[in-house]
Amino acid sequence: MTHLLEVADLTTRFHTPEGTIYAVNGASFSVKQGETLAVVGESGCGKSVSMLSILGLISVPPGEIVAGRAVFDGRDLLRMKDEELEAIRGKEISMVFQDPMTSLNPVLSIGRQVTEAMRVHCGLSAEEAERRAVDLLDQVGISDATSRLGEYPHQFSGGMRQRVMIAMALSCDPRLIIADEPTTALDVTIQAQIVELVIRLREQRGMGVIWITHDLGVVAGLADRVSVMYAGFIVEETDVDSLYDDPRHPYTLALLAALPRIDRRRKDRLKPIRGSPPSLLVEPHGCPFAARCEFVIERCRHENPSLQLVSTGHRIACWVDTRGGRSP
Amino acid sequence: MSQDPPLVIVEDLKKHFPIRQGILGNRLGGAVRAVDGVSFEIQPAETLGLVGESGCGKTTLGRTLLGLYPATSGSICIAGTNVRQAKGSGLMALRRKAQMIFQDPFASLNPRWTVSAIVGEPLHVHRLGATEQARMERVRELLQLVGLSPTHLNRYPHEFSGGQRQRIGIARALASDPAFVVCDEPISALDVSIQAQVVNLLEDLQKRLGLTYLFIAHDLSMVRHICDRVAVMYLGIVVEMADRDELYEHPVHPYAQALLSAVPIPDPRKDRHRQRIILPGDVPSPANPPSGCRFHPRCPIAKSHCAEVVPIWRELLPGHWTACHEAVAPG
């Protein structure tokens, strides 16, 4: 199957008074139709900036997309004019943001916000758009949708607002949904509802999904493929089963070891990752994880490894074979 | 657990916030029953976990325990002191013995104060340490205790990362040599790799100093890791409480069961074969909780009497408590 979206060598920087922020440093990832790609990483690793770059949502300046391409449906999004991109954003590719409290307009009714994209992109009349909005809200599990169209965001709970966001994202039948930490602000029982909803909708509609998260638990239940990001680099990329069965990159290994487990009795203390992530104000030199890595060798400090295939569909960016036992 | 008397005893504690209405806010319109009848004990050197979803009252409970909010009714006793009646020097002594670590390491430190002023403040307030020199010595010792360097003394909070700031908050809480610490979501603002550092620090400090913790969190995996016993809150009350492994392996209250089943497991093969209990709807408003059992409108096993009769808090098995009409002992 061909890729729905293929991003290669994406490099985004921000030029600020404090210096240049090296936010994304040559990230490559791709997603197929009907597939869910999870992009995992900690705060500041560049996962959100990558997505915003692709969709032309970075303000230039201070931002600058230095290099890369993002091919969607045979066309490079990074080379498109604003008008061309506008025709794709919200129609072919839509986005669900993290915070359902701030990403809805508080002074516009839910109905107005859900119908907006359909009227702009699909040329539906007000009545048609409204009919479809009721249908969409119903699909995402908001009961009594007809009467709720006239309500305002403050009358909805966090989980309900996130459903409204998903309904808006679905309104023009997109082929790709990019969800940026859509459940991070929600409680676990509501998160479970939303995850189930997205899985069901993806199966019904055959969309591609990119799900950005820091939660390795959510990834396990949702993703087909996973890209792990660290300091603006993709360091490991594989299918979801082998990420947990056979993690190879030292950062992935360390992340999994630092995680408490709800499904087993406590055996030992947690194994923290020493130190903290590198400053993005310094031009990357060598492997970004070298300073915190327990497998580090001299080469790591000077040369940045590129992603290399280690088994079918499994690539890592590391000079060391981490399966050869732990180094001292 | 030990045979010592409990360090913390809470009985039928309630905290209601009045709702004021009208232009002048002078008309009372009921109350938000944030904590509505909670009882538990914590043994010395024990960690009790308090879990529940946002709005369930867990933060209010933690603050009411320390007297930061005046309780509406019930009793709280910490290390022999009746918190609700403490005044003057008795209240000062209580504040020394019972401290708090806050959730947000960015908002809970004064950005204009240096680290030495922040960590040294409790020493000034409680007049600990004979001289300024002795106090500075103590501040240095505290910084070392939490894994910071004494060279950080004259820096400001913005110069530190989130994990380091949380260490400063911990050093401040420990300055007055407390016996009991309420940890209110101390790690939820931190990244995974940093969370483990802070949790290990809290454990080390507990061992070294014999601290007793109330660990408030919504991360159920971390609670299983760090706590000895766990209490699950829903809409202002505790619905189930048991030893850690007992609760996670044999939850009996339908809410606790649903909550635990909703937590994703970082193992795709296991996660796929899990029976997830998806609860319908949202948590009702604590200003107007449902009649009978507060969980009955969302409960998958509710019977007709659940809507009418409030379930009593009962000990199903030794040490395993629940408030549910239908719950049966596991096994």
pLDDT score of A136: 86
Domains parsed from chain B with CATH numbers: 43-71+82-227 (3.40.50.300), 246-331 (no CATH)
Same domain, A137 and A256: no
Note whether residue A112 is domain-resident. Answer: yes
A262–B191: do the CB atoms touch at under 8 Å?
A: no
In whole angstroms, what is the distance from residue A93 CA to residue A75 CA? Answer: 13
In whole angstroms, what is the distance from residue B152 CA to residue B107 CA? Answer: 19
pLDDT score of A326: 44
Q: Which two tokens stand for residue A6?
A: 């293929």
Strand ranges of the sheet holding B73-78, from the earlier edge strand across to the other edge: B27-42, B8-21, B73-78, B81-82
CB neighbour burial string for A107-120, b if at least 16 within 10 angstroms, e if fewer: eebbbbbbbbbbbe
Q: How far is B81 from chain A (nearest CA, A)?
A: 34
Nearest to A110 by CA among A62, A66, A72, A154: A154
Same domain, A251 and A215: yes
Give me the mean pLDDT over the B206-233 stretch.
Answer: 94
Per DSSP, what are the bridge partners of residue A234?
A: A229
Note whether residue A285 is domain-resident. Answer: no
A188–B259: do the CB atoms touch at under 8 Å?
A: yes
Give me the mean pLDDT over the B186-200 stretch.
Answer: 88
Note whether residue A326 is domain-resident. Answer: no
A255 CB near a chain B CB, below 8 Å?
A: yes
A281 CB near a chain B CB, below 8 Å?
A: no
Same domain, A114 and A263: no
A266–B224: do the CB atoms touch at under 8 Å?
A: yes
B225–A187: do the CB atoms touch at under 8 Å?
A: no
Q: What is the number of other CB atoms lying within 10 angstroms of the CB of residue A266?
A: 14
Cα–Cα distance list, A141 to A156, A197, B144, B279, B283 (Å): 13, 8, 53, 13, 16
Which of residues A253, A271, A289 is at a domain's end? A271
Which of residues A152, A171, A190 is at a domain's end? A171
* Residue B68, H or E segment: none
Q: How far is A182 from chain B (nearest CA, A)?
A: 15
A273 CB near a chain B CB, below 8 Å?
A: yes
| B chain contacts of residue A43, beta-carbon cutoff 8 Å | 191
In whole angstroms, what is the distance from residue B7 CA to residue B181 CA? Answer: 11
Same domain, A212 and A147: no
In whole angstroms, what is the distance from residue A100 CA to residue A158 CA? Answer: 6
Q: How far is B200 from chain A (nearest CA, A)?
A: 7
pLDDT score of A327: 41
Fill in the DSSP letter of residue B81: E
In whole angstroms, what is the distance from residue B213 CA to residue B183 CA? Answer: 7
Same domain, A73 and A183: yes
**Number of domains composing chain A:** 2
pLDDT score of A39: 96
Q: How far is A208 from chain B (nearest CA, A)?
A: 20
Q: Which two tokens stand for residue B119?
A: 């960590």
B260–A262: do the CB atoms touch at under 8 Å?
A: yes
| A chain contacts of residue B267, beta-carbon cutoff 8 Å | 220, 244, 263
CATH number at residue A201: 3.40.50.300
DSSP-assigned letters across all residues of B100-138: EE-S-TTTSS-TTS-HHHHHHHHHHHTT-SSSHHHHHHH
Which of residues A271, A291, A316 is at a domain's end? A271
Nearest to A243 by CA among A259, A221, A226, A223: A226
Contact B24, B229 (CB under 8 A): no
Note whether residue A64 is domain-resident. Answer: yes
Same domain, A11 and A136: no
In whole angstroms, what is the distance from residue B67 CA to residue B54 CA? Answer: 21
- Helix, strand, coil percentages in chain B from 3-state DSSP, rounded to 5: 35, 25, 40
Note whether residue A278 is domain-resident. Answer: no
| A chain contacts of residue B265, beta-carbon cutoff 8 Å | 217, 220-221, 261-263
Nearest to B286 by CA among B26, B70, B37, B50: B37
Contact B280, A159 (CB under 8 A): no
Q: How far is B268 from chain A (nearest CA, A)?
A: 4
Nearest to B286 by CA among B10, B19, B11: B19
Same domain, A147 and A115: yes
Note whether residue A190 is domain-resident. Answer: yes
Same domain, A232 and A108: no
Q: What is the four-CA torsion angle of B136, B139, B140, B146, rounded to 10 degrees?
A: 180
In whole angstroms, what is the distance from residue A242 CA to residue B157 CA? Answer: 41
Contact A72, A35 (CB under 8 A): no
Note whether residue A281 is domain-resident. Answer: no
Low-confidence spans in chain A with pLDDT less than 70: 1, 324-328
Sign for the CA dihedral angle at B179, B185, B187, B192 comes to: positive
Same domain, A162 and A188: no
pLDDT score of A324: 65
Q: Which position has the higher pLDDT, B45 or A135?
A: B45
Same domain, A210 and A258: yes
φ, ψ (nearest 5 deg) of residue B311: -70, 140
In whole angstroms, what is the distance from residue A303 CA to residue B245 CA? Answer: 47
Packing angle between helix B254-262 and helix A188-205, nearest 10 degrees? Answer: 50
Note whether residue A288 is domain-resident. Answer: no
Determine how β-strand A3-16 pairs with β-strand A63-72.
antiparallel
Q: How far is A219 from chain B (nearest CA, A)?
A: 8
pLDDT score of A122: 82
Same domain, A196 and A86: yes
- Residue of chain B whose alpha carbon sits nearest to that of A270: B196
In whole angstroms, what is the distance from residue B268 CA to residue A242 CA? Answer: 9
Per DSSP, what are the bridge partners of residue A308?
A: A316
Q: Which position has the higher pLDDT, A143 or B31?
A: B31
Q: How far is B165 from chain A (nearest CA, A)?
A: 13
Contact A287, A268 (CB under 8 A): no
A188–B248: do the CB atoms touch at under 8 Å?
A: no
pLDDT score of A328: 32
Tell me which residues of chain B have a C-beta less than 8 Å from any C-beta of chain A: 53-54, 161, 163, 191-197, 199-200, 203, 218-222, 224-226, 244-245, 248, 258-272, 276, 278-279, 282
Determine how β-strand A233-239 pairs with β-strand A63-72.
unpaired
Look up the domain containing A131 and give its range.
Answer: 102-171
B266–A190: do the CB atoms touch at under 8 Å?
A: no
Predicted ipTM? Answer: 0.82
Per DSSP, what are the bridge partners of residue B38?
A: B13
Helix, strand counts (H, E) of chain A: 10, 12
Q: What is the number of other CB atoms lying within 10 angstroms of the CB of residue A308?
A: 11
In whole angstroms, what is the distance from residue A158 CA to residue A155 CA? Answer: 10
Q: Which two tokens stand for residue B239?
A: 């619905």
| B chain contacts of residue A215, beta-carbon cutoff 8 Å | 264
Q: Which two tokens stand for residue B150?
A: 């004494």
In whole angstroms, what is the distance from residue B57 CA to residue B34 CA? Answer: 5
Among A262, A266, A273, A293, most B C-beta atoms within 10 A, so best to mutate, is A262
Helix, strand counts (H, E) of chain B: 10, 12
pLDDT score of A119: 87
Same domain, A216 and A263: yes
How many residue pairs from chains A and B have C-beta atoms closer than 8 A?
Answer: 127
Cα–Cα distance list, B6 to A61, B15, B76, B77, B99 (Å): 61, 22, 12, 9, 17
> What type of residue is A244?
Y
Q: What is the number of other CB atoms lying within 10 angstroms of the CB of residue B301?
A: 12
A240 CB near a chain B CB, below 8 Å?
A: yes
